[in-house]
Structure 1
């Protein structure tokens, strides 16, 4: 079996070749005007779709001509395999307009999950069969609809679009659980040379795909009918589903994979949510003290800040760390006066090494008291002015930080001389 990577099933960029990008550069003004004109024509086509019956022959011809003007051209192949009595149509999924292309030649409805007005759903060929309520409800509602309606249901069992060039996603089994034979249709989408813009890319929105349809000169949908397929008595739903998938893949000359639409979602997340690369030079430009994400114990972090700013109450430090999650940010906020606090008195935090003994004289205690006052007096490091540029503010912060570290070093030396 051919090994196929998941990323080969999807396009990431609209233009796959530089030649196409070069041609589009000169075509862009024309394409933009063409897209605007087609938007107005599309509004008229929408009104016609709302007014005329879906089974009306007038609607069939008018809409097909108007869609050709809009740049959507549909071509049918293998019409000898087409069975008009079939109630379930299954197709591969390559673009947001697949069901509309089928609807132009074979009026049908598509099970949808969009909360749209009834008229809009009718014009787009979308019907709510209770998909949000679960698989069982969906199957029951579709079976009931097929009994009472003449319009078939078109289903994209892949559940997500692919580029249609390498493989098919694994089919969902629910369309093959309806106790009906299915009419497989394979869809291929092509655009003229020089306008090979991908009809769908990872992370694209429906409106961006639609704009591309209106922008390029035309898009050709080729619908190829395959023979009707019926579930055999000896096979279960899973086997029937796989047989249809393999048959359609062989017709397209691609692979029937076991990747699901959920795999595409995860693949899209990996592509669209990649963390930006930070060069090593920028990573090492400013050494940072570990943040709370690396050291979850805020008490330990607060102790580190307390060593540099002993006059700041510990509770104030903890409260700010809980907000900033970063020691550097908390130090900056405290130094620049962003956080308002009342400095602690010296008596509330006596040095552990200065415990007096009964033999200590009064004169010695007085000397120690004077030394302690000098030891715990912290020079003012508040910024006199706020820098107008980031470089000035950083330099001011570094200067004040160095001053505080030097003061802490001096206090440490004096403390040990005092004991």
Structure 2
């Protein structure tokens, strides 16, 4: 049994982008680009025929053969090893690499993936989905069903290179025949998946590239006897077959990683402008606002601090704020100098923000 990988970092399980930035792949991609565009346009029209075939043909071996041929024309080739056996009333459990994994399993086994949300009934069959859910079914209803199910307990896609997420997103009733499926995906020039893309990105890549190959390995059938044990046992079996590490990371860890990957903290200048807008019409010097931001660390904290300790008429170092005006010529000149300093400091902060400069105090 494969050892659970507790020390693996979450970023090792995902690709940050679709394209592989190597000089050879870049040159090959440029040369292939005209062919890929033509292929994409042709496949868009063929996709409608695939949709109609999947919608109109009744379940049969002939339908499976037709779907496999049409899928290959669209850029998805599938090879299968092992014995899927009689698929009726069975639940196929697989690792998750692309959002179209269930289609690769469907063209071989006719298994349907439970739809996560509300999907129009006329789209269910062409998309290899079913409105039924394993959560509200019993062992008897699943075994009596004409269809079989395919589920992805990881809950999220991975790159399929080094490890698997923990099985935590699916519950299967006890006594159900469960068959693990190990999936490998390969394609030219592009990674198999990316944290930056969704279903539309994957579909465009499928139609553009010459081929995306799915290799399915059907493992021996198991019987679900304990909900806690089957998850770890099945995850380890698939990971061992694919030479991957069965980790304890889950879909929530991927969500946190994605959030950190794309989170850009607001700049000091933008927070200063936000604070000044909240304090309007009174204008404070940038030094006062920046000092409050550096002391509190956030726009909300700086705003609260300035409201509690708001300078009544003075800016930094005893200089009158720009909003005050005096009949005294000296004070008017000081007010002018303060406004000038305010404009220069604001322009400086906008320049720093625009060019993303790192300026230390």
Normalising by structure 1, we get a TM-score of: 0.66
Determine if the alignment matches structure 1 residue 11 to structure 2 residue 11: no
Q: What aligned pairs does 1:401-412 form with structure 2 within 5 A after superposition?
A: none
By how many angstroms is 1:230 displaced?
A: 2.0
Deviates more, 1:27-36 or 1:92-101: 27-36
Q: 3-state SS of the aligned residue for 2:31?
A: helix
In the aligned structure 2, how far is the partner of 1:180 from the partner of 1:166? 30
Q: What aligned pairs does 1:4-403 form with structure 2 within 5 A after superposition?
A: 4-18=8-22, 19-53=24-58, 55-79=59-83, 82-85=85-88, 87-129=90-132, 138-141=134-137, 143=139, 145-172=141-168, 174-191=170-187, 195-231=188-224, 236-275=226-265, 288-291=290-293, 293-295=300-302, 296-300=304-308, 302-303=310-311, 306-308=313-315, 334=323, 374=328, 378=332, 394-395=343-344
By how many angstroms is 1:276 displaced?
A: 7.6
In the aligned structure 1, how far is the partner of 2:121 from the partner of 2:308? 61
* Aligned CA distance change for structure 1 residues 68 and 397 (closer, same or farther; 3 Å): closer
Unaligned segments of structure 1, at least 5 residues: 131-137, 279-285, 310-330, 336-342, 347-372, 384-390, 399-419
* Aligned CA distance change for structure 1 residues 142 and 122 (closer, same or farther; 3 Å): farther
In the aligned structure 1, how far is the partner of 2:87 from the partner of 2:143? 16
After superposition, give the CA deviation of every residue in 1:218-246 in whole Å (9 maximum; x if it has no partner): 011111111111245xxx32122211111
Unaligned segments of structure 2, at least 5 residues: 269-285, 294-298, 348-361
- For the 8 Å contact 1:184–1:226, the answer to whether it is kept is yes
In the aligned structure 2, how far is the partner of 1:152 from the partner of 1:76? 17
* Aligned CA distance change for structure 1 residues 155 and 375 (closer, same or farther; 3 Å): same
In the aligned structure 1, how far is the partner of 2:160 from the partner of 2:209? 19
* Aligned CA distance change for structure 1 residues 277 and 17 (closer, same or farther; 3 Å): farther
Larger radius of gyration: 1
By how many angstroms is 1:249 displaced?
A: 0.8
Residue of structure 2 equivalent to 1:388: none
In the aligned structure 2, how far is the partner of 1:231 from the partner of 1:114? 26
- For the 8 Å contact 1:169–1:259, the answer to whether it is kept is yes
Normalising by structure 2, we get a TM-score of: 0.76
After superposition, give the CA deviation of every residue in 1:340-395 in whole Å (9 maximum; x if it has no partner): xxx7xx9xxxxxxxxxxxxxxxxxxxxxxxxxx75997469689xxxxxxx99934
Q: 3-state SS of the aligned residue for 1:256?
A: strand
- For the 8 Å contact 1:173–1:237, the answer to whether it is kept is no
Deviates more, 1:97-106 or 1:29-38: 29-38
Q: 3-state SS of the aligned residue for 2:292?
A: coil
By how many angstroms is 1:52 displaced?
A: 1.6
After superposition, give the CA deviation of every residue in 1:285-317 in whole Å (9 maximum; x if it has no partner): x8545355443234345325x2149xxxxxxxx
Count of residues paired in the alignment: 312
In the aligned structure 2, how far is the partner of 1:224 from the partner of 1:41? 28
